Structure formats: C-alpha cells, structure tokens
Amino acid sequence: MSMFKGSYVALVTPFHPDGTVNFEKLKELCRWHVENGTDGLVILGTTGESSTTEHAEDAAIVRCVVDCVGGQIPVIAGGGSNSTETSLMKSRTFRDCGVDGLLLITPYYNKANQKGMYRHFATVAEQVKLPILLYNVPSRTGCSLSLDCIEALSKIDNIKGIKEASGSISFAAKVANVCNDDFCMMSGNDDMIVPILSLGGSGVVSVWANLCPREVHDLCAAWFDGDVEKARQMQLKYLDLINALFIEVNPIPIKEAMNLRGMEVGGYRLPLCEMDPANKAKLIEAMKVLEA
C-alpha cells in the first residue's frame, strides 16, 4: 500500500509537431516531477493518450521514463485493454521494461459481466507479479466494477488498490469499506481529492498535477500531516482551475494549459484536436489562480 500514496501524476505524452513522441520533452517532464515532489508517475493512461499510441511506442515510452527516473519514484504503466490477452501482452512488456506497477482499466466497450471482469483482472494479476491498481471510470468505459467484485479482487495478493473515478462520493464511501492495509483507494478525480482522503484514501492519480505538481503533492502531504484545513483550502482554491481542465475531454485542456505555460508538450492525435476557442478562453481565465 505504501507505494500507492500521495500525488501520482497521470502524465501526458508530449508530441512533436509531426505527431511523433517527443522523448526529450518526456524526460524533461519526468525530471521536473521528481524535482517538484510528485510521488509517482502514471504513464500510458487516458491522459497519456494510450488509445492512439502503438505497442512499439508504448514500450519505448516506458523504457524512456524508467531509465530517466532511475528508481527515484515509482513508475506505473497503464497495461489495460478490453482484451485480456492484449492486457497480458502489454503488462508483460512493461514488467520487462522495469515498471514498478500497473494500472488496469475495466474492459471498456465489451462491458463484461462481473464474473468476466473478475477473471480479466485475476488473469493478469496471476501471470504478471507486479503491484496492480484497478481503474474504475464508468463515464469513459461504459461499465463499472461492483463492490462485490472489488472486494473479491482485493483479496488477490498483488492487486493493491483502486483508482476510483466514478465521481460518486457515495460509491467511494462503500469502496472504502473494503480498503485495508493491503488494499488502498486513490482518487481518480482532482475535484474529489480531499473527500476521498477523508474516507481513508491514500492519494490521487492527478491530471492537475501535470500543471501544478508541487501544489498537489503539498495538498496530500498536508492531509497526511494532519493539517486538514490547509488541504481543504487548497482543494477549494484550485477548484475552478480543476473544473476548467475538464471543460473538454481529457487530455485536451491539460495539454492546452501546459502549452499556455510554455511547457511545449505539443498537440494531440486524432480524433482529439485543439479546444473550442470559447472553452480555451474559460481555461485561460481559470489559470489566473496560478499567478495569485
């Protein structure tokens, strides 16, 4: 459990203007996160645009990040798929590249029943002996893990926690009942970090941390140090910015925000494209909090 604690950034994948992966920028981002207190890196997730990267690119990205970080903080790779065999293939590859753990999303589109979901995750866990963080995000996948399934999966030795992104504090409270020293819950929503922590959560997998790594780390650290008021104030101070980072589908706004801050992470791969001008104006307005 101790590995999945604090602020983990859901890292963007930077691209060159021609759409190829910008590995030098990727290394720069990794070093910046280590220097600014980020507790762990989650690569090749939704924010990393893994739905449009090729398997060979995935392996190259993982090797780049693992080599750059050099064990200073944990590296978690998104090994999920709606095909169990594909998830196994990716997870084995990432294990061999030296990652510290895996993030496995629910099998989207297929929308398996709970027995199928259990067998999907259990199969990967049995064959790839790395710490695993389940990922429940029904707004994107069209399916959700049931509480019974989460509880059953939590009993598998190397399934160590869940990134809970249902957006429901009621559901998260029920998930908290199955958490223990061997199974933790991390917030998958930046607007719910403090609420999840208040239920015993261990941290956040954060999109916002791409822009504000020190702030997200400090929010989590304040909570764990017992300074609830500081954590609460930070959550509320940045709430408008957090909301603006999801005014369009992730990772469009976060990449736009990073580029506006001169971080030069590039654009997107279709079908993702640049923001609507009206939404970009709202994002720019919300980013004024960074100057306060």
Cα separation, 68 vs 43, in Å, equals 13
Name the residues annotated as catalytic: 135, 163
For residue 168, the cross-strand partners are none
| Residue 288 burial (10 A CB sphere; 0-12, 13-18, 19+) | exposed
Residue 135: strand, helix, or coil:
strand
Cα separation, 211 vs 198, in Å, equals 24
DSSP character for 53? S
For residue 135, the cross-strand partners are 105, 163
Cα separation, 85 vs 99, in Å, equals 19
For residue 76, the cross-strand partners are 42, 101
Cα separation, 177 vs 80, in Å, equals 25
